[in-house]
């Protein structure tokens, strides 16, 4: 409570209140004053909801489990002005069937008004994909889109876990083993803290881009790790000799670090694409071009070194993109003004090719 800026704001207001001010009683706070605050919030949201009539809104859902193991589904309304929380469903008491998920989303669509909704966005779970058919049957004008960020995260998992890239998964396991050993032993963790101010974190696989972030934090503390295992006291503080030796061998393995840096190079475009998509900004018109740019950047890094790896990554990117892409993406891309401008058309495409075959149509430059 004391860390909250609202606490300090409240104390300030009380200090400036007229002499003799008394706090409202319980009944007044829970009825009249609460309703007044609710009305203030609703008025503040009016600038968002009024926009929905003219500029339409996307219904975005996200399922998650809290610390009490309750399964919750948040529903947001997202437009050009930003995101608005609509509702939260506690779905612990019902099965996560496609019909039940569709019913929850249909209720939110009715609350917003179906005429104002242009698309529904969910993750890639099979029950969500099945719920799509239910909603499209009732509201055929509403597009269904897979979550861009979730799809890109699955793409990163596809690349790492495929048999062609088993060496990447081996690198990841070795890196995780080092982190687990250090954070799992109190004395070793304290000893590591004397060599670095950067804390090692065990990242859950549910975290977006967990592979990239794990490799990045290891590279960031590489020098501290090397210093730690090269001092004489390293052997003295370790009771788990086998674990200590494995961690030391990994930390001093030059080939391990060179491979980690290589993986970071060609997964960095995917990570930045995830960051690009993980936003409340209206970016749908830029997705088409950004995905192509991402693949072009990966090509520049991987193709000269390993054409087989590039062909595999390219196939996985195109496979995920085919699953993700809907006509709405192309339509939004066509309506994004910057892609008509000569300054953009004169630049090279992501793969080093010239942009060509563009003609003037009704005063605008259309790129074919």
Q: Which two tokens stand for residue 23?
A: 């706090």
Q: Which two tokens stand for residue 194?
A: 């004397």
Q: Which two tokens stand for residue 18?
A: 């007229």
SS3 126: helix
Predicted confidence (pLDDT) per residue in 329-353, tens digit: 888 888 888 887 778 778 877 667 7
CA dihedral 325, 328, 331, 336 (to 10 degrees): -90
- Which domains does the chain possess? 55-146 (3.30.420.10), 147-335 (no CATH)
The closest of 67, 63, 119 to 96, measured between CA atoms, is 63
Average pLDDT for residues 119-137, to the nearest whole number?
Answer: 89
Confidence of residue 123 (pLDDT cuts 50, 70, 90): confident
Q: Check whether 9 has a pLDDT greater than 60.
A: yes
Give the mean pLDDT of the chain.
86
Tell me which range, 60-74, 219-233, 283-297, is most confidently predicted by mean pLDDT: 219-233
pLDDT of residue 363: 40
User: Residue 270, exposed/middle/buried by CB under 10 A (0-12, 13-18, 19+)?
Assistant: buried
Tally the residues of the chain: 368
Q: Which of 193-197, 222-226, 255-259 has the lowest mean pLDDT?
A: 193-197
Element (H, E) at 78: strand 71-79
pLDDT of residue 215: 92
Q: Which two tokens stand for residue 314?
A: 């390219």
Q: Check whether 362 has a pLDDT greater than 70.
A: no
The closest of 299, 313, 309, 311 to 350, measured between CA atoms, is 299
The closest of 95, 105, 48, 103 to 75, measured between CA atoms, is 105
**Sequence-separated (6 or more) residues with CB below 8 Å from residue 318:** 295
d(CA 340, CA 236): 66
Average pLDDT for residues 180-202, to the nearest whole number?
Answer: 87
Element (H, E) at 90: strand 82-90
Q: Check whether 163 has a pLDDT greater than 80.
A: no
pLDDT of residue 258: 95
The more confident residue out of 132 and 355 is 132
Phi and psi dihedrals of 77, rounded to 5? -110, 120
pLDDT of residue 20: 86
Question: 31, 92 in Cβ contact below 8 A?
Answer: no
pLDDT of residue 201: 79
Helix locations, the chain, DSSP H: 5-15, 26-28, 34-55, 98-112, 126-138, 148-161, 166-183, 186-193, 210-220, 222-230, 233-237, 241-251, 254-277, 284-302, 307-324, 327-334, 342-345
Q: How many CB atoms lie within 10 A of CB 212?
A: 21
**Sequence-separated (6 or more) residues with CB below 8 Å from residue 341:** 365
pLDDT of residue 124: 85
Phi and psi dihedrals of 78, rounded to 5? -120, 125
Percentage of the residues of the chain whose pLDDT score is greater than 90: 35
Predicted confidence (pLDDT) per residue in 236-254, tens digit: 887 778 888 999 999 999 9
pLDDT of residue 364: 37
Q: Check whether 367 has a pLDDT greater than 70.
A: no
Phi and psi dihedrals of 221, rounded to 5? -110, 15
Q: Which two tokens stand for residue 183?
A: 């954070």
User: Residue 224, exposed/middle/buried by CB under 10 A (0-12, 13-18, 19+)?
Assistant: middle
| 131 DSSP 8-state letter | H
Average pLDDT for residues 6-35, to the nearest whole number?
Answer: 92
d(CA 211, CA 298): 17
């Amino acid at each position: 409570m004391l860390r909250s800026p609202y606490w300090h704001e409240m104390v300030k207001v009380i200090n400036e209140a007229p002499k003799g001010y008394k706090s409202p009683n319980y009944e007044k706070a829970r009825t009249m004053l609460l309703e007044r605050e609710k009305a203030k919030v609703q008025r503040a949201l009016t600038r968002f909801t009024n926009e929905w009539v003219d500029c339409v809104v996307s219904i975005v859902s996200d399922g998650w489990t809290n610390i009490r193991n309750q399964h919750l589904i948040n529903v947001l309304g997202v437009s050009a002005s930003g995101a608005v929380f609509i509702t939260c469903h506690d779905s612990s008491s019902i099965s996560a069937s496609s019909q039940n998920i569709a019913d929850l989303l249909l209720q939110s669509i009715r609350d917003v008004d179906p005429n104002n909704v242009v698309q529904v966005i969910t993750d890639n779970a099979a029950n969500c994909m099945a719920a799509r058919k239910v909603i499209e049957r009732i509201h055929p004008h509403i597009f269904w889109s897979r979550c861009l960020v979730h799809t890109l995260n699955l793409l990163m998992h596809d690349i790492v876990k495929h048999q062609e890239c088993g060496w990447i998964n081996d690198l990841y396991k070795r890196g995780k083993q080092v982190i687990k050993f250090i954070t799992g032993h109190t004395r070793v963790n304290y000893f590591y803290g004397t060599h670095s101010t950067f804390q090692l974190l065990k990242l859950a696989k549910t975290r977006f881009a967990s592979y990239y972030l794990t490799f990045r934090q290891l590279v960031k503390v590489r020098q501290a790790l090397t210093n730690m295992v090269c001092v004489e006291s390293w052997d003295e503080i370790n009771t788990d000799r086998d674990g200590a030796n494995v961690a030391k061998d990994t930390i001093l393995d030059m080939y391990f670090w060179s491979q980690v840096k290589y993986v970071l190079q060609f997964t960095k475009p995917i990570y930045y694409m995830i960051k690009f998509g993980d936003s409340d900004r209206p970016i749908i018109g830029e997705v088409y071009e950004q995905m192509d740019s991402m693949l072009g950047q990966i090509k520049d890094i991987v193709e000269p070194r390993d054409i087989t790896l590039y062909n595999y990554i390219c196939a996985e990117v195109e496979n995920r993109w085919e699953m993700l892409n809907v006509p709405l993406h192309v339509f939004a891309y066509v309506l994004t003004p910057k892609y008509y401008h000569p300054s953009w058309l004169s630049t090279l495409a992501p793969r080093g090719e010239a942009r060509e075959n563009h003609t003037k149509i009704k005063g605008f430059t259309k790129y074919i």
